[in-house]
Amino acid sequence: MEALGAAQHEIVARADRLTREKIAPRAAEYDQAAANPVESWRELGGEGFLAASIPRAHGGLGLDMPTYIAVIRTIARGCASTAMTLHMHSTVMRFIDALGTDGQKRRYYGEVVGGGKLFGSWGSEPAVSLSRTFLMETSLRADGDGYVIDGVKHFCTMALGASYYMVWCALDGGTDMAKALLLALVPADAAGIATDGKWNTLGMRATYSPSVTFRGVRVARDATLGELGGAIRVGVVESFGLGYAAIYLGIAEAALEFAMDYVRKRIVRPENVAVAEDPTVQRHIGELRVHLDAALLVLADSAARWAQADMVERGNLANRAKLLATQVGLDTTSRVIQVVGGRGAYKEYLAERAFRDLRTSTLMPPTVDRMLEAIGKNALGLETGMFRLGSGPQGA
């Protein structure tokens, strides 16, 4: 594994200070309101983190994957929803880097670096399970000098909050994503976009992700990225899963730290000793700490190997990190409440929100079963991607 250098550590330390001082104190309020963390986005923009994955040549931080993952994980300790929205935005920046023209990069990167604009990524759809088949029913068709988009998207993160949305479409309604998939960058104020605004979920409430309908939404020809099917051939879609793993483990770290602080300070009678003196509690904490450390090592190793990995290997790296982060994160946040006891269920305590956020965020595709299948195929030398493509060969 590759250790972070001094400059990288300083960037992560800056993210940590920002999270502790500005982002974490707002997390409960945004969670309760189920509202976009607008002030936290502004703080991130002011510190340059909205440009985390934008190349330095375009004014961004140009973070390598180990540093980027460390930053996302650090922010997730304070607010999972802020970390998730930043990760979605940053992944769109990676797609622009991989697929965009020079003109598109100058335009869109300039709006982020100079204007603090945010970009969402909308791929999920109500009738399609991405863990079963990577298929888009939202259609994009040529019309005059532009395109027209029609369809419905589910879980539209940062709805009513971002400036652009990268909408995953199928050209002319095609079903073979290797030949029909096209990404369109749609301005948030484009005519024909509508949402009922319903977003009342168990956790990750401040990602604000209602369903959105597209009816005759027009975009310019230069609003699409790359060639047909290109989005699943450049090794970027896999980075979604790696970032998810970082978020899950950041949440779990915060929950475990809360539990350790609580049992050190909680004094019980008649012994008048801290709960931390209980051998049963010590065993629980010890087991959780070891499992969390193991998952963090796998995440760090996957991030360190990312730059040199091809598309298929990136899928495997992301799958193994996300699988362990899912399993360890769910176990950690659940058992932390058990260790803390009844007070762990109080909404004013971090443990309760961590439990809800982890349980909700780990529903992001691919599912545990799909990850296990793909990891097993990789171990057996059977090449496979992270997702199954609709009506076509397996790919990214």
67-84 pLDDT, tens per residue?
A: 999 999 999 999 999 999
Q: What pLDDT, on a 0 to 100 scale, did the predictor assign at position 129?
A: 75
| Residue percentage of the chain with pLDDT more than 90 | 92
Peptide bond into 126 cis (omega under 30): no
Give the ranges where 65-126 is alpha helix by DSSP (H).
65-78, 80-99, 102-115
**Could you read off the pLDDT of 268-297 as tens digits, one per residue?**
999 899 999 999 999 999 999 999 999 999
**pLDDT above 90 (res 190):** yes
Count Cβ neighbours within 10 Å for each residue of 120-145 and write b for 16 or more, e otherwise: bbbbbbeebebbeebbbbbbbeeeee
37-69 pLDDT, tens per residue? Answer: 999 999 999 999 999 999 999 999 999 999 999
Amino acid 384: pLDDT: 73
Cα(63)–Cα(76) distance, integer angstroms: 17
pTM of the predicted model as reported, rounded to 2 decimal places: 0.95
Instruction: Evaluate if residue 206 carries a pLDDT over 90.
Output: yes
Q: How confident is the model at residue 252 (pLDDT cuts 50, 70, 90)?
A: very high
pLDDT, position 396: 34
User: Domain 238-379 is of which CATH architecture?
Assistant: Up-down Bundle (1.20)
* Per-residue pLDDT tens over the stretch 352-364: 999 999 999 999 9
Pull the structure tokens for residue 131.
Answer: 């863990």
Mean pLDDT of 322-344: 96
CATH of domain 122-228: 2.40.110.10
- Confidence class for position 108, pLDDT limits 50, 70, 90: very high
Cα–Cα distance measured from residue 119 to residue 245, given in angstroms and rounded to the nearest whole number? 21
**Mean pLDDT score of the chain, rounded to an integer?**
95
Q: CA 246, CA 252: separation in Å to the nearest integer?
A: 10
**Least-confidence region, from 131-135, 187-191, 211-215, 237-241:** 131-135
In the chain, ranges of CATH 1.20.140.10 domains: 238-379
Mean pLDDT to the nearest integer, 96-111: 98
Mean pLDDT of 260-272: 94
Is the pLDDT reported for residue 100 higher than 70? Answer: yes
Q: What's the pLDDT at 394? A: 38
CA distance 317 to 376: 13
Rounded to an integer, the average pLDDT of 186-201 is 97
What amino acid occupies position 106? R
Residue 392 has pLDDT above 70, yes or no: no
Average confidence (pLDDT) over 331-343: 96
Topology of the domain comprising 6-118: Butyryl-Coa Dehydrogenase, subunit A; domain 1 (1.10.540)
Residue type, 49: F
* Start-end of CATH 2.40.110.10 domains in the chain: 122-228
Confidence of residue 388 (pLDDT cuts 50, 70, 90): low
pLDDT tier for residue 395 given thresholds of 50, 70 and 90: very low
- Which of 193-207, 326-340, 379-393 comes out lowest in average pLDDT? 379-393
- Whether 390 shows a pLDDT value over 70: the answer reads no
